[in-house]
Amino acid sequence: MSARSVHPHSSHWGVFEAEVEDGQVVSVHPYPYDAHPSPILANIPDSIRHPTRISQPMVRAGWLDYGAGPSTQRGKEPFVPVSWETATDLLAAELRRVIERHGPQAIYGGSYGWASAGRFHHAQSQVHRFLNGLGGYTYSVHSYSMGAAEVIFPHVFGNYWDMLVRATAWPTIVEHADLFVCFGGLPLKNTAVKPGGIGRHRVPDYLRQAREHGVKFVLFSPLRDDLPDFVQTEWQPLVPGTDVAVMLALAHTLITERLHDTAFLDRYCVGFERFERYVLGEDDGQPKTPEWAEQISEVPAEAIRTLARRMATHKTFITMSWSLQRTEFGEQAPWMGATLAAMLGQIGLPSGGFGFGYSSTSMVGSAPLRFKFPSLPQGKNGVRTFIPVARIADMLLHPGEAFDYDGQRLTYPDIRLVYWCGGNPFHHHQHLARLRRAFERPDTVVVHDPFWTAMARNADMVLPSTMTLERNDIGWNENDSTLAAMRQAVAPFAQARSDYEIFAALAAKLGFWDRFTEERNEMDWLRHMYDTWRTTASEHGVEVPTFEDFWEEGYLEQDWSDDHEVLFSAFRADPEHAPLATPSGRIELFSETIHSFGYADCPGHPTWLEPSEWTKGARAEQFPILLIANNPSTRLHSQLDIGATSQASKVQGREPIRLHPTDAATRGIAEGDVVRVFNDRGSCLAGAVLSKDVRPRVAQLSTGAWYDPLDPADVDALCVHGNPNVLTMDQGTSSLAQGCTGQHVLVEIERWNAPVPEITVSRPPPLEQRDGL
C-alpha cells in the first residue's frame, strides 16, 4: 500500500500543500482560503526530481587541473563531480587564499536573487552571514526590481520603503477613489507574487470591487492586458518609454487651465516654480503641451487634455508600475508621477494620491502587520566597498575605474572571487554576452543552486542546494496575514544540502562553526525565530500560539488590524510636526541636492529625456521594434522554467513572443512560427504569438527562459530558447541610481527558416567522472 501524506508549505507565489506519495511530490494544492491561487504552483511537482537538478558538488575541469585564475573556459568545459569533503576543502582553501592575498573586499557577495520564500533558508541572508563571519565582502545596494525608484524617492519623499509597506490600502482606495490612472497598468500576473509568501490573492477581488463601486480605469501601456478585461478600461497604447512626456502634458494642461492645487503645492512641496518654468517652456523654449506629447507618445492631444480635466475634478489615484523605471532615465517616471499627484493635491488622502508598485507585487496596498517576523541575523560586514546591484559587469570588467552614483564618485573594486547563492544573473542581468566576458575575469566563481542554471554552468564550483520542499522553514511577508509552516515534504535530491548546511560545513573548516551556527540546527533556528516574534507580540499584549501548535497547525492567520492605511496621511495632517525626511521636510519637486550633482542624465526636476532605445530614435532605423522584456506570467522570473505551467506556454519549445499582426505580416511571420529576434548585442529564437493587445511596432518577450546558447563555447551565440537579456542594454538608468534598464530594447524580428535547434538546457551539462575525488 502506498504511503500518502500532505505537507503545508509556501512559495513567493502562494501558500500551498504538497501531496506526497512514496517519497515523491505527486501534486500541490493551493491554500484552502486562497480564492485566486496562482497557476504557477503547477510548476513545482515536475521540478523536484527533474534531470536538471544538481546531484552532487561539481568543479569545472580546468579549475581543478590548473587552479584558480581568470578563464575564458567558464561555460565551455565539463564539470567533475566531487564529494562534499573535497568541495568543502577546495573552497575553504580558495576563500582563505583570496582573503590573505587580496583582502575580503576581493570577494563579491552581492549575490542578488529571490531564491525561496522561507525566512530562515533565505539565501542572501545565509551567504551574507557566512561571508561576514570571514571578515566581509563587497556588497551590492538596491534591486533589479526598482533600482531607480530606491534612489529617487528618498530625494523626493525622504524614503522609499514606506511607498511599499505603507502604501494606501486597497480597501481604502476602492471605497474612496473615482478614477484610477494606471501608468504601466495592474497586471494580475505580478500581483500574484509577494516575497516571502502570500496566503490569499486578493487583488482580483479589489479590482472587481472597485469596478462595482463605479471606479473608472485609464491604462497607459503598450500592452492592453496590463489591466484585466473585467475592469473595462480606457486603453491609451502609448509609445513605450514616453509616459513622462504624457505626464508633463497633463501637468501643462493643469497649469494653463489653473486646475492645479496651489494650496497643496505651497504647503507640502518645494520647487514647483522651477518645474513650472520647465513645463511652460520658459527655460528651453519648448512648452510641454499635449500636442508636443502627442508627437512623442502618439497619445492624442485631446485625450491628454480631457484626462487632465477629469483628474482635477475627480478623486484620482495615480498608480505606476515598477517597470517604468526599469529603463534608461528610469528615475524620471516615478518622480513625474509623484509631481503630477502633488499638483492634484490628493497625496495623503484616502481617495487619491500616488501609488508605486500596486502592479508589481501584492505587497503594495496590503496593510502592514504590527509585528515583524525576525530575519536571520547577518552580522557585520567589515568591508565598505559596494556597487549598485546592476553594475556587476562594469565592476568585473573595469576594476579601479571610477563611476558616479547618487552624488558620490566611487571606484570599482578588483574582484577575485564571486560567490552566488539564490539568484541567477544569467536571468536577471542585461547584455549576456558582455556578462559572460565579465565572468571571465575573476579567479573563482562559486554558485549554490538546486538547478543547472546558466549561472551554475558558467561557474567553477557548483554546490547543490536543496529545494524548499526538501527542508523546514517559515514563510512570512511584512504585508501578508498568513504565517506558513513550511514543513519538509521529501528527502533532499541526491546529495543536495541546504545552504545553511553548506555554509556550516565551510565555517567548520574555516574555524567559525560555533559563531556561524550559534550551535543551533535548522529546527532550533525556526523555534528561536518564532519564539522571538512571539515574545514581541506578547510584550504588546498579543498572544500567539506556541511554536509546537503553530507547526502542527501549519498556518497562522494574524490579526489584519489596519486596512485603512493612507500613505503620507500623517504628513498631510501636520507637515510641521511630521515632516518628510527630505532636506526641506517637504515633497521635493525640484531637488537642490540632485541639481547640485550636475548630472545631465538626471537634472534637478522631472524632465523628458529621449532614451536611446525607443522607436523614434536613430537606432530604430536599424532595429525598428521595441521589445518589452517584462516579468513572465508562467513562472517567477526564471524559477522552475522546466515546470508544467511554464512549459505549456512555449511555442515549439521556445518562449512565446507576442507581436502585432501587421508587424508579423510585413515580415512574413505566422502564428506559431519560430522567429529570430536580434540586434547588434545578440540574438535569440522565440515562438510567434500574434495579438492586437500589443500595439504596433512593439513586441513582448518575457524574461526567464533559461539561457541556452547554440554553441556554449561562443559567448555571442544565439540563445535557442528565448532569453531576452541577450539583447538588452547593460547601462545604468542614470548617474544617480545606476539601476537596471532591462525592460525596453530595440530589435528586429525575422522568420527562422532553418531547422529548429534542440533545447539542451533541460539536460545537465557534460560531466567528466574522475576517481578519488
In angstroms, the CA 721 to CA 219 distance is 31
Question: What minimum distance in Å lies between the beta carbon of 524 and ligand PGD?
Answer: 19
In angstroms, the CA 443 to CA 732 distance is 26
Strand 625-628 and strand 683-690: the pairing is unpaired
Main-chain phi, psi angles of 656, to 5 degrees: -70, 140
Catalytic residue among 31, 63, 108, 112: 112
Integer distance in angstroms from the first to the last C-alpha of the chain? Answer: 40
Footprint on this chain of ligand PGD (rule: CB under 6 A): 112-116, 121, 123, 144-145, 326, 421-424, 427-428, 448-451, 453, 465, 499, 629-631, 636-639, 703, 724-725, 728, 740, 742-743
Q: Is-catalytic flag, 114?
A: yes
Q: Residue 696, class by beta-carbon neighbours within 10 Å (0-12 exposed, 13-18 middle, 19+ buried)?
A: middle
Q: Is-catalytic flag, 112?
A: yes
User: 630 pairs with which residues across the strands?
Assistant: none
Q: Any alpha helices (H) in 498-556, and if so which ranges? A: 499-509, 513-517, 522-539, 547-553
What SS3 state is found at 393?
helix
Question: What minimum distance in Å lies between the beta carbon of 409 and ligand PGD?
Answer: 27
**Nearer residue to ligand PGD within complex by CB, 312 or 395:** 395
**Nearer residue to ligand PGD within complex by CB, 243 or 276:** 243
**In 10 A of CB 5, how many CB atoms?**
12
User: 587 pairs with which residues across the strands?
Assistant: 269
Gyration radius from the chain CA atoms = 26
User: 421 pairs with which residues across the strands?
Assistant: 448
Residues ≥6 apart with Cβ < 8 Å to 569: 348, 349, 350
Q: Residue 219, class by beta-carbon neighbours within 10 Å (0-12 exposed, 13-18 middle, 19+ buried)?
A: buried
User: 315 pairs with which residues across the strands?
Assistant: none
Catalytic residue among 114, 278, 419, 533: 114
Q: What are the Cα distances from residue 267, in Å, to 253, 573, 593?
A: 22, 11, 20
The C-alpha cell 542554471 sits at 453
Question: What minimum distance in Å lies between the beta carbon of 422 and ligand PGD?
Answer: 4
Question: What minimum distance in Å lies between the beta carbon of 641 and ligand PGD?
Answer: 8
Question: What minimum distance in Å lies between the beta carbon of 703 and ligand PGD?
Answer: 5
**Nearer residue to ligand PGD within complex by CB, 293 or 435:** 435
Strand 4-11 and strand 107-108: the pairing is unpaired
In angstroms, the CA 56 to CA 87 distance is 10
DSSP 263-305: HHHHHHEE-HHHHHHHHTTTTTS----HHHHHHHH---HHHHH
**Nearer residue to ligand PGD within complex by CB, 71 or 145:** 145
Amino acid present at 366: S
Give me the residue whose beta carbon is nearest to ligand PGD.
Answer: 742
Main-chain phi, psi angles of 503, to 5 degrees: -70, -35
**Nearer residue to ligand PGD within complex by CB, 123 or 164:** 123
The C-alpha cell 503594495 sits at 364
DSSP 192-254: T--TT--S---HHHHHHHHHHTT-EEEEESSBGGGS-GGG-EEEE-PPTT-HHHHHHHHHHHH
Q: How far is CA 436 from the centre of its chain?
A: 21
Give the start-end residues of each E strand in 573-714.
Answer: 587-588, 625-628, 656-659, 674-678, 683-690, 698-701
Tell me the catalytic residues: 112, 114
